[in-house]
């Protein structure tokens, strides 16, 4: 994990978890409470669903447009899921981090792994879990946009997605959205005090002339 970021440089807050864990809702509420944090809007080749707002939920793109950006290294990470491509465009990230703003990425685990292991950025990674698989099933069933086939695909992939939870810095169980948002805020705030972030400060203190 990269820790010695330049002064004024923000961090990437990576939030993953199975479909139905509530990542979208939790991240949206977090931004409402903490408008100083920027939310990355991904590019995707998946079809727009009812309720999706282009430019807010995603930037909806053709496969050709997506591949063209990928070919010039325009994504921080990208991954395929359920037959569609998803990716985090770089410019928004770089601009915000340079301005000292933390940026939140709501992405699945293959992409998260690229960001975490890439070592290019300081990352705080959080995995959101449902309180039970039964609850996850109910939440996925409750999404009117899910066809029966899409539902079972997402439910099956939730089992495999949960295996990645151990690779994250923090795990939050989303039984109650408000509590989960508060837990995420605590993680974001608390992680500022990681020992690894204090390297420069410790060095400076030791370099001061002793009385
Ligand atoms: P959905 O189609 O339900 O909106 O999203 C499907 C999955 O793609 C979710 O797990 C979501 O977190 C993930 N996802 C959304 N944007 C990105 C992205 O830019 N990169 C990656 N790797 N995953 C993403």
pLDDT digits (tens, 9 = 90+) for 70-124: 999 999 999 999 899 999 999 999 999 999 999 999 999 999 999 999 999 999 9
Q: What is the distance in A from the centroid of ligand 1 to the CA of 37?
A: 19
The residues near 121 (Cβ < 8 Å, ≥ 6 apart) are 2, 5, 11, 12, 93, 97, 115
| Per-residue pLDDT reduced to its tens digit, 134-158 | 999 888 887 756 577 778 888 888 8
Which 8-state DSSP code applies to residue 129?
Answer: E
Q: For 64, what's the count of Cα atoms within 13 Å in the CB-facing half-sphere?
A: 0
Q: What is the distance in A from the centroid of ligand 1 to the CA of 78?
A: 9
Structural domain contains residue 89: no
Q: Quick one: pLDDT at residue 160?
A: 87
State whether the beta carbon of 20 lies less than 6 angstroms from ligand 1.
no
Which residue would you say has higher pLDDT here, 65 or 137? 65
Structural domain contains residue 76: no
Structural domain contains residue 79: no
Burial degree of 30 (CB within 10 A; 0-12, 13-18, 19+) = buried
Structural domain contains residue 155: yes
State whether the beta carbon of 153 lies less than 6 angstroms from ligand 1.
no
Q: Count of domains in the chain? A: 1
**Candidates 24, 28, 42: which one to mutate for ligand 1, based on the most atoms within 8 Å of Cβ?**
42
Nearest residue by C-alpha to atom 3 in ligand 1: 19
User: CATH number of the domain that 147 lies in?
Assistant: 3.40.50.300
Backbone angles phi, psi at 49, to 5 degrees: -105, 160
Our CA angle for 197, 202, 207, nearest 5°, is: 145
Structural domain contains residue 167: yes
The pTM for the full model equals: 0.92
Cα dist from 166 to 47, 113, 125, 163, 171, whole Å? 31, 12, 11, 7, 8
Mean pLDDT score across all residues of the chain: 92
Domain range enclosing 181: 12-41+101-207
What is the Cα–Cα distance from 131 to 133, expressed in whole angstroms?
Answer: 7
The residues near 143 (Cβ < 8 Å, ≥ 6 apart) are 20, 151
């Amino acid at each position: 994990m990269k820790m010695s970021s330049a002064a004024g440089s923000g961090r990437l807050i990576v939030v993953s978890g199975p479909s139905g864990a509530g990542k979208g809702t939790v991240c949206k509420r977090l931004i409402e409470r903490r408008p100083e944090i920027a939310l990355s809007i991904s590019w995707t080749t998946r079809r727009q669903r009812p309720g999706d707002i282009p430019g807010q939920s995603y930037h909806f793109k053709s496969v050709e447009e997506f591949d063209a950006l990928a070919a010039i290294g325009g994504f921080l990470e990208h991954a395929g899921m359920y037959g569609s491509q998803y990716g985090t465009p770089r410019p928004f990230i770089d601009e915000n981090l340079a301005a000292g703003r933390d940026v939140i990425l709501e992405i699945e685990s293959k992409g998260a792994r690229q960001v975490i292991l890439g070592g290019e950025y300081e990352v705080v990674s959080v995995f959101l879990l449902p309180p039970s698989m039964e609850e996850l099933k109910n939440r996925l069933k409750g999404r009117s946009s899910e066809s029966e086939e899409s539902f079972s695909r997402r439910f099956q992939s939730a089992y495999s997605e949960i295996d990645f939870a151990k690779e994250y810095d923090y795990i939050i169980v989303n039984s109650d959205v408000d509590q989960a948002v508060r837990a995420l805020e605590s993680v974001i705030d608390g992680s500022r005090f990681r020992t690894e972030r204090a390297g420069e400060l410790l060095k400076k203190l030791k370099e001061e002339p002793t009385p």
